[in-house]
Structure 1
Amino acid sequence: MTSPIVAVIGGGQLARMMTPAATALGITLRILVESDEASAAAAAHETVVGLPTDPDAVQRVLASPRPDVVTWEHEHIPAEVFEACEAAGVPARPGLGALRFAQDKIEMRRRMDQLGLPNPAWREVATLADIEEFLAAHGGEAVLKTARGGYDGKGVRVISDAADARDWIESAADGGPRLLVEQKVPFVRELAVQIARRPSGDARAWPVVESIQRDGVCSEVTAPAPGLDPTLARQAEGIARTIAAELDVTGALAVELFETAEGLVINELAMRPHNSGHWTIDGSVTSQFEQHLRAVLDLPLGDTSATAPWTVMANVLGGARTDLPSALAETADPGAKVHLYGKGVRPGRKVGHVTVSGDEAESTYARAVAAAAIVRDGGAA
């Protein structure tokens, strides 16, 4: 029997972190990387250099020996890629019918409403008058988003006056991304729940986690979410299971949630491995990366149990240190697992993460944050 081949479109750190799991399972990863300097380029079994918008590069990914399946490490996949996969007889997972709800926030909000799942108040907007009406009806403050293309705080703006949106409204009128405005949710904290689903319908979820965002970027994740009411944990998993089944998601699905005084509210969806699940590499029986590969190949799913009472993942965002591997000699905590992405350092860029597991939540969190600070800039907080 030949080794299964999984083609991955996108050469960032998510594709890079799929490689160890693929190697352990005897799977060959063929990754479409943006350049030879891409994060995944040094780790992949096979690489094709090019962009998803380049038909020739996509054809090289699909060339013989033909991959068993094509999957994605980001949502920004043109419809033409799905058409090329279909023409080549290669399954694309998740398919466009599911992925479009992660690509387009307006489509996602409409579908969540149709499913009766907890959305914030929202509407599509095309004029300043639309925004004025929404602000008047929802407390004078709202969140303006581009329907497509936003991530890590990009394409998101908090507004309290319609004039704050004038440039985006003008851009949309000139052919830029459509816009939606959402209620600014008065949340207690942010949560995330991840699930992986096979084409056959089998699905498994990990424990619900708490995520802390700084400047719109995920900073730390604690698994499980401390002090979470078991009823809310079950509700969060139920939301994820409903979305995965009703949208026919195959592979990993992350659902970002707001916990409010009244319950849970859906924030965003991602149909791929996700930053909120990096803790699973060291803190779960089956990592999100292994599970994603198992799911898209329709293999039996692994156990998603945590391997320690608490696991905390702290992102390393670009700081003072440019030679990140030198930090390995300074990270004195033997329980700190350092993951570097092979990316050039610039302020605020995700260049790695650190994971620590322990028996007590607060000390585990403190150790993870301290280790990430050492990697980032020599220990300066």
Structure 2
Amino acid sequence: MIEPGATIGILGGGQLGRMLSMAAAQLGYRCHIYAPERDSIAAEVSAAFTCADWTDTDALARFAQDCDVITLEFENIPVAPLRAIPESMLAPNLLALEVAQDRLKEKRFVEDLGGRPAPFAAVDSREDLEQALERIGTPGIVKTTRDGYDGKGQWRISSVHEAQGVPLAGQQLVYEGFVQFDAEFSVILARGQDGEIRFWDSAENVHEDGILARSTVPACPLVLDQLETARMIATDVSDALGYVGVLTLEFFATADGPVFNEMAPRVHNSGHWSIEGALTSQFENHIRAICGLPLGDTALTAPRVEMRNLIGKEALKGPAILADPANHLHLYGKAEARKGRKMGHVTRLVRD
């Protein structure tokens, strides 16, 4: 067990690192942020900050010397430089990072464990794309295998003709057939060092323009009917990875059961509601897990919980949002309210 007063290193300096740091401070830990961006909103609430590139192995090694355990808030980090950090210090481990940051690897990994992803094919050339379209059909989505998130690095294709506009040069891509679904949901679990697993209620998620807009618990009846199967898949994934910390798997609820979409080896936007809506938040349980502490109760604190992201200039509505006493406002301290940028979120506890 890592005793309170120790230092937790966090790779990444965004809002997830900020909320992890705040949860860690509540438990008596100090946090040290490592990120290449100077304007780190996580560093603002942390004890120490190293601003250096992901490929700077000397800086990573010095960073590790100041930490007792190291975690991450962002999975698109080059794996090779992280080998400068003793792997025993990393939670989750490098295997989880390697699988989750590559869409092809994660789909194959889940498929090998009995999960069902959308029909997919690797695309490395125009010929590969044409064959994928012929085998899987349209509509579908071409995605970069790495780095894309919040709708970035994705091209929707409704016909073979539209596929001609997809930029293929120098990119590893995957083509996914479109899934007819009735709802989207996420399974978020915390797995301790001893293998104990706690699940939060699964949120039903609504996306707008490829960005999560709302998460609501409890989810609709269809999601609840498919939850046991989805949780079994998530458990198998976490066990196979030897995972420690919070792990998120996203699913489509379909007429034929849950279809795996993607995974994230970290706390997740669709679990932000848990700060006020659960007895123990995803952020606190992540800190508990990586430090070897007992996991906390994940039960709901209200019959219904709704979380809404504040995108771009929506964050300017903060005072009006607080006029409703059931609302809990979180602004991340980002300076520029750009279009499509997550500036904060609001959680509403519904008790009637």
TM-score, normalised by the number of residues in structure 1: 0.86
Matched length: 349
- Over the residues paired in the alignment, what is the CA RMSD in angstroms? 2.0
1:367 — aligned with what? none
* Alpha-carbon separation, structure 1, partners of 2:318 and 2:139: 43
**Higher RCO structure, 1 or 2 (CA under 8 Å, sep 6+):** 2
1:31 — aligned with what? 33
Any residues of structure 2 matched to 1:128-147 within 5 Å, and which?
128-147=126-145
Residue 209 (str. 1) matches residue 218 (str. 2) = no
Any residues of structure 2 matched to 1:121-270 within 5 Å, and which?
121-162=119-160, 164-166=162-164, 168=166, 170-172=168-170, 176=171, 178-228=172-222, 230-270=224-264
Q: Structure 1 residues 85, 167: closer, same or farther in 2, change over 3 A? A: farther
1:115 maps to a residue whose letter is L
* Alpha-carbon separation, structure 2, partners of 1:6 and 1:231: 38
SS at match of 1:258: strand
CA contact (8 A) 2:204 2:223 kept: no
SS at match of 2:338: coil
Match of 2:304 among 279, 302, 310: 310
1:107 — aligned with what? 105
Shift of 1:20: 2.0
Q: Residues 141-185 of structure 1: CA distance to partner in whole angstroms, max 9, x if unpaired?
A: 21111111111011121113455445655323xxx3x11111100
Match of 1:3 among 2, 5, 11: 5
* Alpha-carbon separation, structure 1, partners of 2:347 and 2:103: 31
* Alpha-carbon separation, structure 2, partners of 1:35 and 1:169: 28
1:370 — aligned with what? none
Q: Residues 212-240 of structure 1: CA distance to partner in whole angstroms, max 9, x if unpaired?
A: 00000000000121334543121222121
1:359 — aligned with what? 351
Residue 16 (str. 1) matches residue 27 (str. 2) = no
SS at match of 1:337: strand
CA contact (8 A) 2:138 2:177 kept: no
1:349 maps to a residue whose letter is R
CA contact (8 A) 1:97 1:247 kept: yes
2:323 — aligned with what? 332
* Alpha-carbon separation, structure 2, partners of 1:232 and 1:184: 20
Any residues of structure 2 matched to 1:49-128 within 5 Å, and which?
49-63=51-65, 66-86=66-86, 91-128=89-126
* Alpha-carbon separation, structure 2, partners of 1:331 and 1:132: 52
CA contact (8 A) 2:56 2:81 kept: no
CA contact (8 A) 2:185 2:223 kept: no
List, as ranges, runs of 4+ consecutive aligned residues in structure 1 with deviation greater than 4 Å: 165-169
1:204 maps to a residue whose letter is R
Which runs of no fewer than 5 residues in structure 1 stay unpaired? 361-381
* Alpha-carbon separation, structure 1, partners of 2:224 and 2:321: 39
Q: Structure 1 residues 90, 262: closer, same or farther in 2, change over 3 A? A: closer
Q: Residues 90-145 of structure 1: CA distance to partner in whole angstroms, max 9, x if unpaired?
A: 51111111211110011111111211111111111222232223223334321111
**Greater CA drift, 263-272 or 27-36:** 27-36
* Alpha-carbon separation, structure 1, partners of 2:203 and 2:320: 30
Identity of aligned residues (%): 38
1:342 — aligned with what? 333
CA contact (8 A) 1:223 1:311 kept: yes
CA contact (8 A) 2:138 2:160 kept: no
CA contact (8 A) 2:60 2:82 kept: no
1:207 maps to a residue whose letter is D
SS at match of 2:238: helix
CA contact (8 A) 1:192 1:257 kept: yes
